[in-house]
Amino acid sequence: MDHETLFTRACRVIPGGVNSPVRAFNAVGGTPVFVSSGKGSRLTLADGREVIDCCCSWGAVILGHADPGVTEAVARAAAAGTTFGIATPGEVEFAERLIARLPGMDRVRVVCSGTEAVMTAVRLARGATGRDLIVKCEGCYHGHSDGLLTKAGSGAMTAGDGAETAGDGLPAGILRHTLTIPYNDADALARVLDAHRGRVAAFVVEPVAGNMGCVPPLPGYLERAAALTRAAGALLICDEVINAYRFRLGLYSHGAGIEPDLVTMGKVIGGGFPLAAVAGRADIMDRLAPVGRVYQAGTLSGNPVAVAAALEVLKRLESDPPYKRLAARAKRVADGIDAAAVKAGVPLRVRRHATVFTPFASDRLPTDLAGARACDTALYARFFHGMLRRGVYLEPSQFELCFLSDAHTDADADAIIAAAEATLQEDC
Ligand SMILES: *Cc1c(COP(=O)(O)O)cnc(C)c1O
C-alpha cells in the first residue's frame, strides 16, 4: 500500500494522521512512512520497501525487532491472560531484578509510559519536600504532562512555537511552578535555587540530554548539579527514560558517580511495550499510595504481557551485556557519516555519546538548546530524505537521538555509511 493513500485515510480519522506528533514528518517535510513489520535491524514499509532502522522505536527496541526470545515470552504471557487488574508474580520478579541493579534505591513502581513515570516522580518530590517549584532544563523532554511541557525540546519543540512552550492548553498557574534554565549550566542552577530558596522541590534533568539531539553532560556538570540540588534541600530527579539500560546495566547516573533521589526509566526497560518505572529510596517511595498520601494508579500498570517482554529483555541484557558492541557499531556509523560530510564539504557533524548519536546540521557541536537550535534544519531535512530514499530510516527531526540495536551488524553500519556518502555528495 502506498504511503500517500494511507496518510490521506489516516488524516481523515486521526489528528494529523498520527498518534504521536513527531511521526508526522512536520520537521522534515513530505509524507510520513508507515511500517508493516520489522525484523532485526530492518523495517518493511507499507509500500514493500525495506530500510535499515536507526530509530528503533525511539530507543525502546534494543535487541532488534521481533526478537525470537521476546516474541515467545510475549506469546506465552498473552496465552495466559493479558490483564487482570490484580498483582502477578512477574511484577515482583521484574521489580526485584531492576532494584538489584539500582544501588541505593529500594523501591520501584511500574507505570505505562515515561510521561507517567516523571509525573509521579515530580508529585513524589512535592509530597516529600512540601514544596511546589520544579527546575528543569531547556531542551530536555520529560513527557507531555502540563508542568513539564515548557521549553521541552523534541517533538514539542518541532510542534510548538520554537521551544518556548508546547503550545496551547497549558494553564499559566501550572507553568508558574516550573522554572527553566540552560542545560550544562550549573551556575544557572545555583542562581535559580538561590532566588527561590526553600521553595524548590526538585531539579529534574536528563543526565545525557537526548531530546535536543545528542548533548552529553560537560565534565563536572552533573556532580555539581547534584551537590547544589542537595544543598538546597531539593530532590534530584534523573530522567533516565532514554538513558537507563541504554549505556550500561542500570543507570547512567550511577556510572557517572551521581546518586539521584528519584529516577525514571522507560524505553529500553519496557521491552518494546508500554511500560516505564519510577524508583527511589524507601523513605520517598513509600509516600506513594497505598502506603502514603501521594496518589498514583493505573488499570494496566504492570501489565503481564508487558512485564514478560520487559523481563526477557532484562535477562538477555544481563546475561550478555551488548553495550561494548553497541558503542563500537555506533562509533563506526558516526565516524563514517562524519568523514563523509567532511569529504563532501557539507557542514554536518555527528555527535556520538557511547551507544547513541545525532548528525547535527552544523559545523559546531551544541552543548545546550541554543546551540542545537542554531542547526540548519533544512539541511537536516535533505539529509534525512536522501538517506530514506537510499534505504536508511533516521529520526525525522534534528532534535533527536539515533539508536542502533544489538541486531544491527557491521554490514548494516557500512550500508548506512554508503548511503550517507551518496546523500551528502548528491543531495546536500
Ligand atoms: C520519551 C521520554 C519521555 C516520555 O516517555 P513516553 O513513554 O513517551 O511517555 C520522558 N522523558 C524522556 C527523557 C524521554 O526521552
Question: What is the chain's mean pLDDT, rounded?
Answer: 96
Count the residues in the chain: 428
Q: Report which ligand 1 atom has the smallest distance to the Cα of 116.
A: 9
Determine the pLDDT at residue 153. Answer: 72
Torsion of CA 116, 121, 125, 126, to 10 degrees: 0
Is 216 a residue whose pLDDT tops 60?
A: yes
Q: Report which ligand 1 atom has the smallest distance to the Cα of 266.
A: 7
173-177, 222-226, 291-295: lowest mean pLDDT where? 173-177
Question: For 230-244, what is the mean pLDDT?
Answer: 98
Is 71 a residue whose pLDDT tops 50?
A: yes
CB 124, CB 278: distance < 8 Å? yes
Torsion of CA 97, 302, 267, 396, to 10 degrees: 170
Q: Which amino acid is at 375?
A: C
CB of residue 139 inside a 6 A radius of ligand 1: no
Task: State the distance from the centre of ligand 1 to the C-alpha of 403, rounded, in angstroms.
Answer: 15
Q: What percent of the chain has pLDDT over 90?
A: 95
Question: For 9-22, what is the mean pLDDT?
Answer: 97
Q: In what order do the strands lie in the sheet with 50-53?
A: 35-39, 42-45, 50-53, 392-393
Determine the pLDDT at residue 118. Answer: 98
CB of residue 136 inside a 6 A radius of ligand 1: no
Determine the pLDDT at residue 167. Answer: 77
Q: Report which ligand 1 atom has the smallest distance to the Cα of 211.
A: 15
| Confidence band of 158 (pLDDT split at 50, 70, 90) | low
Task: Sketch out the chain's domains with CATH numbers.
Answer: 3-62+322-426 (3.90.1150.10), 68-319 (3.40.640.10)
Mutate which of 110, 115, 208 for ligand 1? The one with the most ligand atoms within 8 Å of its CB, which is 115
Bridge partners of residue 51, in order along the sequence: 43
Reported as a single tens digit per residue, the pLDDT across 75-134 is 999 999 999 999 999 999 999 999 999 999 999 999 999 999 999 999 999 999 999 999
Task: State the distance from the centre of ligand 1 to the C-alpha of 29, rounded, in angstroms.
Answer: 24
Distance from C-alpha of 8 to C-alpha of 130, rounded to nearest angstrom: 50
CB of residue 118 inside a 6 A radius of ligand 1: yes
Task: State the distance from the centre of ligand 1 to the C-alpha of 88, rounded, in angstroms.
Answer: 26
Nearest CA to ligand 1 atom 11: 142
Catalytic positions:
141, 239, 267
Q: Report which ligand 1 atom has the smallest distance to the Cα of 58.
A: 1
For 241-394, where are the E strands, in sequence order?
Answer: 262-265, 276-280, 349-353, 356-360, 392-393
Reported as a single tens digit per residue, the pLDDT across 368-420 is 999 999 999 999 999 999 999 999 999 999 999 999 999 999 999 999 999 99
Reported as a single tens digit per residue, the pLDDT across 160-211 is 444 455 678 999 899 999 999 999 999 999 999 999 999 999 999 999 999 9
| Confidence band of 152 (pLDDT split at 50, 70, 90) | confident
Distance from C-alpha of 340 to C-alpha of 424, rounded to nearest angstrom: 7
**Is residue 282 packed enough to be buried (19+ CB in 10 Å), middle (13-18) or exposed (0-12)?**
exposed
Reported as a single tens digit per residue, the pLDDT across 317-360 is 999 999 999 999 999 999 999 999 999 999 999 999 999 999 99
Please tell me which residue, 59 or 163, carries the higher pLDDT value.
59
Nearest CA to ligand 1 atom 8: 114
Determine the pLDDT at residue 163. Answer: 47
